[in-house]
């Protein structure tokens, strides 16, 4: 068992005992002071709360904006228009190739024309100068005699007061001559249309044979 130990005497240890404080002394406030302060604080809080409630109740209510009602209209489904009938395009006819008409070189045109023939005319014995270009300043190639028939292969070109045509001579030489000294002509060796018409027999009339042409007429009895 534990032994009982006697506490020390405060008087012997030199410690002074604590004094008991009395209410109403100068060291601590009295309890009723704290109670009064609590009541005051409570009254002030209640007054502030009442003032706040009154201010909230006195305010005008906020205008609530009503949403605009959505009107739903029930409509019948749209009628689908029938699609137009697509007509097949009419096929474009293929153009028929028409061959170019064959030039009748035996019949000279009314004027000098490329592709036809021309004859040297109006130069007398002097002849016509064949030049290397459509100008009197170009090189003189040769002299073409009066009446020479040549093929027109180019032109016309105007220079030095002359109308120039490019020609090809029967020997193959080519050059330029003044158009004032040539005239349309038939191709060499071709038969004029009038000559061909006279050589053909008249339709329905038999041609005379050699024996009929040489037979002498029989005198009448």
pLDDT of 215: 31
Q: What mean pLDDT do residues 75-100 have?
A: 77
Q: Which residues of 7-46 are buried (b: 16+ CB within 10 A; e: fewer)?
A: eeeeeeeeeeeeeeeeeeeeeeeeeeeeeeeeeeeeeeee
Q: Give, for 57, the enclosing helix (H) or strand (E).
A: helix 31-58
Name 176's bridge partners: 131, 166
Residue 33 falls inside a structural domain: no
Domain boundaries, position 160: 117-185
Residue 163 falls inside a structural domain: yes
pLDDT of 133: 95
Name 116's bridge partners: none
Highest mean pLDDT among 72-76, 95-99, 124-128, 153-157: 153-157
Domain count, the chain: 1
- Residue 28 pLDDT more than 60? no
Residue 136 falls inside a structural domain: yes
Name 177's bridge partners: 165
Tokens of 88: 């097949």
Residue 148 falls inside a structural domain: yes
Residue 77 falls inside a structural domain: no
The CATH number of the domain holding residue 146 is 2.30.30.40
Residue-wise pLDDT tens digits, 133-153 = 999 999 999 999 999 999 999
In sequence order, the 6+-apart residues with CB closer than 8 A to the CB of 106 are 186, 187, 190, 191, 192, 193
- Residue 207 pLDDT more than 50? no
pLDDT tier at 70, thresholds 50, 70, 90: confident
Coil/strand/helix, residue 215: coil
Residue 111 falls inside a structural domain: no
pLDDT of 11: 62
Name 183's bridge partners: 119
Q: What mean pLDDT do residues 55-78 have?
A: 77
How far is the C-alpha of 61 from the C-alpha of 70, rounded, in Å?
27
How far is the C-alpha of 93 from the C-alpha of 78, rounded, in Å?
44
Residue 2 or residue 35, greater confidence: 35
Residue 112 falls inside a structural domain: no
Residue 107 or residue 101, greater confidence: 107
Residue 132 falls inside a structural domain: yes
Q: What mean pLDDT do residues 202-216 have?
A: 34
pLDDT of 183: 95
Q: What mean pLDDT do residues 36-61 have?
A: 85
């Amino acid at each position: 068992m534990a032994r009982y130990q006697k506490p020390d005497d405060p008087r012997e240890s030199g410690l002074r005992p604590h004094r008991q404080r009395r209410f109403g002394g100068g060291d601590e406030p009295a309890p009723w002071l704290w109670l009064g302060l609590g009541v005051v604080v409570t009254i002030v809080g209640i007054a502030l709360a009442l003032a706040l409630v009154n201010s909230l109740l006195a305010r005008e209510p906020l205008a609530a904006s009503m949403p605009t009602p959505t009107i739903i209209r029930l409509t019948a489904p749209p009628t689908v228009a029938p699609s137009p009938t697509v007509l097949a395009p009419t096929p474009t006819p293929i153009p028929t190739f028409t061959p170019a008409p064959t030039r009748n070189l035996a019949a000279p045109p009314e004027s000098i024309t490329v592709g036809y023939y021309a004859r040297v005319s109006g130069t007398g014995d002097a002849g016509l100068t064949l030049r290397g270009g459509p100008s009197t300043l170009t090189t003189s190639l040769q002299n073409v005699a009066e009446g020479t028939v040549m093929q027109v292969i180019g032109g016309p070109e105007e220079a030095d007061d002359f109308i120039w045509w490019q020609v090809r001579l029967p020997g193959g030489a080519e050059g330029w001559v003044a158009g004032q000294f040539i005239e349309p002509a038939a191709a060499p060796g071709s038969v004029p249309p009038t000559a061909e018409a006279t050589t053909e027999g008249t339709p329905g009339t038999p041609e005379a044979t050699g024996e009929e042409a040489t037979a002498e007429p029989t005198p009448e009895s």
